[in-house]
Amino acid sequence: MRVLTFSDAHLTPHLGLPSAVREFFQTPADVHIANGDTLELVKYRPQEFVDSRCMRELFMAARGLDFRLICGNHDPRPDLLKLVPPQWLAPDLLEIDGVLYTHGDMFGGWWQLLKPFGEWYPDFYRWLQQFRQTPGRYNPHNLQKFNKLALAVQGQALLYALNAGKPLVLGHTHLPAQYKAHGTVWMVDCGTPGYRLWAVATDGHLEQRRF
């Protein structure tokens, strides 16, 4: 089985699907997953999406596919139920073929993670970086607050995956990443569609791939 995942498109009602999202739906897979914050329902009301260009193109792109929509903090379930078929909506923590999928707000919002940052952060960062395969290394003393918080969410997600003994696909942070330990990819953060980095699970084996 092949499962393809993107996250955090934050689609708005008056624009069509970005080219990266259209390509995602056109890429062959057994299951296509949008891993939260697919629609921007904080800045816009659900009524603004009704019969919008965005929704028309989304329905067209997903036609005939096994499409699963995981709720995020910007597209909560009650609002999505007003706009999409209920069969699209997946549990907040979905498991397919031994791989876990969740948007990531279960690991804490930005503000809940502000207090823990202190003298321990560089040690946490060094621990996290030994697993991180994404190009680019960050200086823990010069990181912007957003990236520090994103890495904190990724670290909690990685610990969750390791403790569960199952790979995990994350969204929420907008910071793409792949974490590998002992020859196995344990966690992939999709980032946003603009990176064109999807999470691909093939028969339970997870990887991040550029399209």
Closest CA relative to residue 102, chosen from 180, 20, 7: 7
Residue 74 near residue 110 (C-beta atoms within 8 A): no
Q: Enter the pTM of the model.
A: 0.86
Exposed, middle or buried, 97 (CB in 10 Å: 0-12/13-18/19+)?
A: middle
Compute φ and ψ for 143, nearest 5 degrees.
Answer: -65, 140
Q: What tokens appear for 103 in the block? A: 């948007």
Closest by CA to 80, choosing from 11, 175, 5, 173, is 11
Please list, in sequence order, all residues whose beta carbon lies within 8 angstroms of the beta carbon of residue 30, skipping any fewer than 6 positions away: 1, 2, 3, 66
Q: Which residues of the chain have pLDDT under 70?
A: 108-148
Compute the distance between CA of residue 190 and CA of residue 207 in angstroms, rounded to an integer. 10
- 144-183 residue pLDDT tens: 555 667 777 888 898 899 999 999 999 998 888 899 888 8
Task: Report whether 31 contacts 4 (CB < 8 A).
Answer: yes
- What letters, b where the CB count within 10 A reaches 16 and e where it falls short, cover 55-92? bebbeebbeeeebbbbbbbbbeeebbeebbeeebebee
What per-residue confidence (pLDDT) applies to 138? 47
What DSSP string runs through 112-168?
Answer: GGTTT-STTHHHHHHHHHTTB-SS----TTT--HHHHHHHHHHHHHHHHHHHHTS-E
What is the per-residue pLDDT for 128?
64
**Rounded to 10 degrees, what is the CA torsion of 174, 73, 178, 90?**
-140
Residue 110 confidence (pLDDT): 47
